[in-house]
Amino acid sequence: MKPNVLLITADQWRGDCLGIAGHPVVRTPNIDALAGEGVYFSRHYCQAAPCAPARACLYTGLYQMTTRVVRNGTPLDARHDTIALAARRAGYDPTLFGYTDQSVDPRTVSGDDPWLRTYEGILPGMSVRVRVPEDHGPWLSWLEARGRALPTPKQDAWLPADGKADPPSGKPPIYSAEETETAFLVDEFSRWLSERGSGLDIGKPWFAHLSFIRPHPPFIVPEPYASMYDPSDGPDFRGAKSPSGDGELHPFLKYAMEKQEKCDFVRGARGMVADWDEAARRQIRATYWGMVSEVDAQIGRLIAVLKASGDWENTIIVLTSDHGEMMGDHKLFSKLGFYDQSFHIPLIVRDPRKPGTHGRKIDAFSESIDIMPTLLDMIGARPINWLDGRSLTPFLDSDGPLDWRDAVHWEYDFREVAEGTAQRRLDLDLDACNMAVIRDESVKYAHFAGLPPVLFDLAEDPDETRNVAEDPAYLTVRLRYAEKLLAWRAKHLDRRLTGIELTPDGPVDARN
């Protein structure tokens, strides 16, 4: 019998914010326990940001250079295969709880199609059980059905109960820990799972994608999580010690710092993020940690549901995120640029059929593009030869392949298609607003299409505070990594047809 598949994404989750990652403060007992029954990939990185570009890479197994989803609202080219389409071909009905943020290819719909007016489209191949758009209407109506009186507008439920938004106080909202957005989706999944006990679905394996919004902003969480962490606890923020030091490191950082608004992170706040002092940043960070623990608690509920239904021993689980969060480091919030905090994310893979490697920690570099080939491998689906990602299943059986990657790559595109802000502020053409990053054990190199490069000596400067790209002593290193990045791009440009040659005997596929 084929296994069930549960793909969980928790939005904007930093890879270091797990108990199993050794975080000095954050507690995630349920995820730590899940890792004990699976394999934990400690150096897992996404390939793009924000949400739509990151998820396009995860859902297609392709780097951004091929998906060309460069921002929220960029259409996902209909020619790309997806994890949902591939699973459907393998006999599953991939079912969504939440959102995928994949904008429709405008060439495939009529000019009046409503999907052309939103970036929050559905991944091709996915059935939808619960779609949760940005306004969170389904969750808010669920709250009202439970008897919770909501303010006007309803989204003001994300304000502290006392109504004071700024400076951030860490006070809880009007809803309880049993009424969070995460709890709502776990309830909906539980109901869906119980319905499969009758009718045509009996005995059929299922594929569910739970796409949780938290710990994405707005940063607020109910008790007991609101006061779970003391803002004075935890490590110092990474970055330059002077107020303007990080912005002086590179023009992109200066631009990013000057454009971040408080309201993007704390509902009801006004002004610029740069105006928040360290106390405010520490309070927001403590709230974020509480949000992480809230999601962890709901994942515990989810596991309990699977065990109660009898599905636990036949369910593959992949737990990850779409991207990370700066969370005050380098005086930034959100997900952007070249810092690890935005791109290092969690990954746990549980295959109940392979208990011999349960509890294993893998320190080899892994990437979001590996998830699609991994899941297809695990469900026995036909392999797709042009994917950029590689299956992680060898790590579930042994120590992994000898020819595994020794670096990770990601891309970040900061163009503003509709408004043009980045182009004006940085004096760049539309297609020059991007960077590509290579990061290995000791060096990180970021190449910009229209701005100077960034080079960090991670061995000497693990907090990434000194850009040595212009240092003559690092000229050889800079050149070597620029060549590595060029070779990476040359190897991974769209390979859908490049391994095929038409001959007198018919097509020859070198990858089969």
The percentage of the chain sitting over the pLDDT mark of 70, rounded to a whole number, equals 98
Q: 4-238+277-406: what fold? A: Alkaline Phosphatase, subunit A (3.40.720)
Asked if residue 219 lies in contact with residue 287, where contact means CB atoms within 8 angstroms, the answer is yes
Asked if residue 250 lies in contact with residue 454, where contact means CB atoms within 8 angstroms, the answer is yes
Catalytic residue among 17, 46, 51, 57: 51
Beta strands in 56-196 (DSSP E): 95-98, 127-131
First to last CA, the chain: 27
**What pLDDT does 199 receive?**
63
- d(CA 274, CA 287) in angstroms, rounded, equals 19
At 459, list the tokens. 């061995």
The residues that bridge with 348 in the sheet, in sequence order, are 40, 319
Which residue type does 214 have?
A: R
Query: How far, CA to CA in Å, does 468 sit from each of 404, 436, 465?
Result: 28, 17, 10
**What pLDDT does 196 receive?**
87
Q: Is a pLDDT exceeding 70 seen at residue 48? A: yes
- Half-sphere exposure of residue 181, counting CA atoms within 13 Å on the CB side? 31
17 in active site: no
Tens digits of residue pLDDT in 450-459 = 999 999 999 9
For the chain, the structural domain boundaries read 4-238+277-406
Helix (H, G, I), strand (E, B) or coil at 309: helix
Tens digits of residue pLDDT in 148-188 = 999 999 999 999 998 889 999 999 999 999 999 999 999 99
Per-chain mean pLDDT for the chain: 96
pLDDT band (50, 70, 90) for residue 480:
very high
- d(CA 1, CA 10) in angstroms, rounded, equals 29
Asked if residue 306 lies in contact with residue 225, where contact means CB atoms within 8 angstroms, the answer is no
Asked if residue 12 lies in contact with residue 335, where contact means CB atoms within 8 angstroms, the answer is yes
The residues that bridge with 8 in the sheet, in sequence order, are 210, 319
Q: Is a pLDDT exceeding 80 seen at residue 493? A: yes
Question: Can you tell me the mean pLDDT for 31-48?
Answer: 98
Q: What is the pTM of this model?
A: 0.96
Instruction: Give the 3-state secondary structure of 377-396.
Output: HHCCCCCCCCCCCCCCHHHH
Question: Can you tell me the mean pLDDT for 358-365?
Answer: 96
